[in-house]
């Protein structure tokens, strides 16, 4: 996917003016939050499980090489193939060559953020293979020719009315505004695709080293039809998806759905191990795991390793005031919200993505709800430091900060300057009590009044009163 992360400010400005987007997003800030809270509160062990899930993933990452080797060995034992791909380009070529081996015309796709990351759909299209998204949200945005705006609710930026319009246009059926009718329509439209497809591509929520299994966690059942009916099942997975055992997976599952949608458990947790057995009446004849590094191995052993614990639940964006305000597209790349603000600079470069970690109030809610306890604000701060070191931020901002810091380190100079400035602001503003606009404060006063200072500084008044200073 082509990034517009550098244009975040512009993207955000446009998003803020989009009233339909505002309507669509209004549910994110309430629905997801309330449901997660209820689900977490209903499980007394929830916080313990978060700790354990975090520890499991830390341990796994610290010996990832062993897990990867075992995973591959077990996949092969079960009649599957593992394709190691160093980057997105290698992964795309691998998928294409598997598709070409059966002369595939169409492939069905389950939801995969990694698929977005490596840009598999446009690549297949360019090679005359039609990818059909089967997750309802992904299907909607494929019709709209848009990228997902949320990692578990890809079409969350669309109102029902917009979806009704899209279906009417593409399905050539009478427009309906009934949710059940719209779902039934999509179900009917997609049904035949599962049978027609030569290849089914899914992502993976987990890869299990114990047995060489890949796991998808879904609610709709589209992923299961996608991977069960075609001749070939291709799994797209990045290397950090490994967990050692089914016991470890069970622990993480207990925090995944609760954090994501507030369900105790998603409807379908499907564990796939190899290809169809000789005696099996159904299932894919070939099982391929496209195992992709794409920058992950370089994050190990660094301050970014914590990001590799992410289980893509979306809780961080569901609780993010910035995401609530601008939605996912404004972030300009695959991963929006706090996880995107922390991860995208690692995958795109800080020069391209520096706005994302800067556009945070550090309110800390993402870290508070992250089931894997990823210190998202800390990682965003890491990127701010990198951007500062690399001189990427706007000159005005850098100069202002350095000037402030220069003064703050010189208390007497600081007091002289600030006293004067506050005296001036007070004198100008005291009558009205606030400013409607003020030169050099346009950013503030465009949307807010600026209160006038009370007058005098505390330190000056304290000194005048003879207050104790040592």
Partner 1 sequence: MTTVALFVTCLVDLYRPGVGFASVKLLEEAGCEVVVPEAQTCCGQPAYNSGDRRDAMAIARQVITAFADFDYVVAPSGSCAGMIKHHYPALFAGDPQWRIKADDLARRTHELTSFLVDVLQVEPAPARFDGTVTYHDSCSSLRELGIQAQPRALLGKVEGLALRELKTPEACCGFGGTFCVKYPEISTEIASRKAADVAATGAGTLLAGDMGCLLNIAGRLQREGHAVKVRHIAEVLAGMADGPAIGEPQS
Partner 2 sequence: MNARDRILGNVRSSLKRGEPDAAARAAYDARFDTHKRNTVPAHAKLPHADLVARFIVEAKAVGASVTQLADAGAIADEVAAYLREKNLPARIRVAPSLSGLHWGDPALLDVEHGKAEPSDTATLTRALAGVAETGTLVLTSGPATPTTLNFLPDANLVVLTEDEIVGAYEDAWDRVRGLGATPRAVNFVTGPSRTADIAQELILGAHGPIDLHIILLAKG
Among 254, 329, 373, 384, binds partner 1 (CB under 8 A): 384
> At 209, is the secondary structure helix, strand, or coil?
coil
Among 116, 117, 133, 220, binds partner 2 (CB under 8 A): 220
Among 4, 245, 269, 418, binds partner 1 (CB under 8 A): 418
Mark residues 162-201: x for contact with partner 1 by CB under 8 A, - for none. ----------------------------------------
Angle, helices 46-62/64-77, rounded to nearest 10 degrees: 90
Residue 358 contact, options partner 1, partner 2, none, Cβ 5-8 Å cut-off depending on partner type: partner 1
CB-neighbour burial class of residue 408 (10 A; exposed 0-12, middle 13-18, buried 19+): exposed
Measured from the CB atom, the residue of 101 and 245 that comes closer to partner 2 is 245
Residue 387 contact, options partner 1, partner 2, none, Cβ 5-8 Å cut-off depending on partner type: partner 1
Q: Can residue 297 be called a binding residue for partner 2 (CB under 8 A)?
A: yes
Residues 78-117 that bind partner 2 (CB under 8 A): 78, 84-86, 90
Among 60, 149, 266, 318, binds partner 2 (CB under 8 A): 266
DSSP summary character for residue 28: I
Whether residue 371 contacts residue 255, with contact meaning beta carbons closer than 8 Å, is answered with yes
Q: Can residue 411 be called a binding residue for partner 1 (CB under 8 A)?
A: yes
Residues 130-169 that bind partner 2 (CB under 8 A): 134-137, 140, 153-156, 158-160, 163
Residues 238-257 that bind partner 1 (CB under 8 A): none
Q: Can residue 127 be called a binding residue for partner 1 (CB under 8 A)?
A: no
Which of these ranges, 213-221, 322-330, 400-408, 422-430, lies near partner 2 under the rule CB under 8 A? 213-221
Concatenate the DSSP letters of all residues of 453-470 into one string: P-SS-HHHHHHHTT----
Measured from the CB atom, the residue of 113 and 407 that comes closer to partner 1 is 407
Q: Can residue 69 be called a binding residue for partner 2 (CB under 8 A)?
A: yes
CA distance 200 to 110: 8
Measured from the CB atom, the residue of 96 and 407 that comes closer to partner 1 is 407
CA distance 85 to 291: 6
Among 54, 202, 273, 358, binds partner 2 (CB under 8 A): 273
CA distance 373 to 308: 11
Q: How far is the CB of 391 from partner 1 (least distance, A)?
A: 11
Give the rounded distance of the alpha carbon of 470 from its chain centre: 50
Task: Determine the Cα angle at 217 with ends 215 and 223, to 5°.
Answer: 85
Among 172, 282, 458, 466, binds partner 1 (CB under 8 A): 458
Concatenate the DSSP letters of all residues of 270-328 into one string: EEE-SSPPTT-SSS-SEEEEEEE-TTHHHHTTSTTGGGGG-----HHHHT-HHHHHHTT
């Amino acid at each position: 996917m082509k990034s517009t992360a550098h244009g975040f400010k512009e993207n955000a400005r446009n998003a803020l003016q989009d009233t339909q987007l505002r309507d669509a997003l209004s549910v994110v800030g309430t629905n997801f939050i309330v449901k997660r809270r209820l689900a977490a509160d209903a499980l007394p062990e929830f916080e313990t499980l978060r700790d354990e899930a975090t520890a499991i993933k830390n341990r796994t990452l610290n010996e990832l090489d062993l897990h990867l080797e075992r995973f591959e060995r077990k996949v092969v034992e079960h009649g599957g193939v593992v394709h190691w791909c160093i980057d997105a380009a290698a992964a795309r070529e691998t998928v294409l060559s598997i598709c070409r081996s059966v002369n595939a015309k169409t492939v069905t796709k389950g939801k995969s953020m990694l698929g977005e990351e490596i840009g598999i759909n446009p690549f297949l299209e360019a090679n005359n293979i039609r990818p059909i998204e089967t997750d309802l949200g992904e299907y909607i945005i494929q019709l709209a020719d848009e990228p997902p705006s949320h990692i578990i609710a890809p079409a969350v930026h669309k109102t029902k009315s917009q979806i009704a319009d899209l279906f009417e246009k593409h399905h050539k059926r009478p427009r309906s505004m009934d949710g059940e009718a719209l779902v039934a329509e999509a179900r009917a439209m997609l049904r035949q695709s599962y049978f027609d497809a030569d290849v089914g591509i899914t992502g993976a929520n987990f890869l299990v080293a114990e047995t060489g299994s890949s796991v998808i966690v879904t609610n709709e059942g589209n992923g299961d039809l996608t991977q069960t009916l075609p001749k070939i099942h291709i799994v797209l997975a990045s290397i950090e998806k490994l967990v050692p055992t089914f016991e470890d997976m069970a622990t993480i599952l207990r925090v995944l759905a609760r954090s994501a949608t507030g369900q105790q458990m998603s409807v379908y947790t499907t564990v796939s191990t190899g290809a169809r057995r000789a005696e099996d009446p159904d299932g894919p004849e070939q099982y391929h795991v496209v195992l992709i590094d794409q920058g992950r191995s370089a994050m190990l052993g660094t301050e970014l390793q914590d990001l590799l614990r992410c289980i893509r639940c979306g809780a961080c964006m569901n609780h993010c005031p910035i995401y609530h305000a601008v939605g996912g597209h404004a972030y300009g790349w695959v991963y929006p919200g706090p996880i995107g603000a922390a991860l995208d600079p690692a995958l795109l470069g800080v020069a391209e993505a520096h706005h994302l970690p800067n556009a945070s109030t550090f309110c800390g809610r993402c870290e508070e709800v992250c089931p894997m306890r990823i210190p998202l604000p800390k990682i965003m701060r890491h990127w701010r430091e990198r951007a500062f070191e690399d001189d990427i931020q706007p000159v005005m901002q850098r100069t202002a900060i350095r000037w402030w810091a220069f003064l703050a380190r010189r208390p007497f100079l600081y007091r002289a300057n600030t006293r004067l400035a506050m005296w001036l602001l007070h004198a100008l503003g005291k009558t009205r009590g606030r400013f409607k606009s003020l030169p050099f404060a346009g950013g503030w006063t465009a949307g807010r009044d600026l209160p006038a200072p009370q007058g005098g500084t505390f330190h000056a008044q304290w000194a005048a009163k003879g207050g104790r200073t040592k």
